[in-house]
Amino acid sequence: MKKYEADCKNIDELLEAIGKLPTTIKSLEVPTSMVSFQPLVKVFKDITDMSEMVDICREILTEATSEDQVKRYGELISCDLQSYCGDSDPKGGYYVRLHTKKSIQFAEDMSNGVYGSLD
């Protein structure tokens, strides 16, 4: 069972998962758009108030999933909260991923070598 990581169906579930993170985490990265490859992210360090962090993330994610973003990248299908250091490390770094049909297809195409070899 995952302690802090979460696979979410929507932004509200994601924000709930973020709210459960301890303030001891090293960092939290939140994407500012739904672009498939290397989205720009806001990086938060030295978090002291997780409820304030949830409010900040809500603002960022509302913009990242706005109507304009949906027109460009497609509708949000799911999102998740992942750890860089393993889910049991309350001092590790965490990051948010947003998934659309286009981003899922892009990931599949990359693994299948559609864009060439990764070597």
Q: What is the pLDDT of residues 50-100, one digit of tens each?
A: 999 999 999 999 999 999 999 999 999 999 999 998 877 778 899 999 999
pLDDT tens readout for residues 4-59: 999 999 999 999 999 999 999 999 999 999 987 788 999 999 999 999 999 999 99
User: Could you give the strand order of the β-sheet that contains 6-8, starting from the edge strand earlier in sequence?
Assistant: 6-8, 76-83, 93-100, 27-31, 41-45
Residue 1 pLDDT class (50, 70, 90 cuts):
low
Helix pair 11-19, 50-64: axis angle to 10 deg = 160
The model carries a pTM of: 0.86
Token digits of residue 115? 């864009």
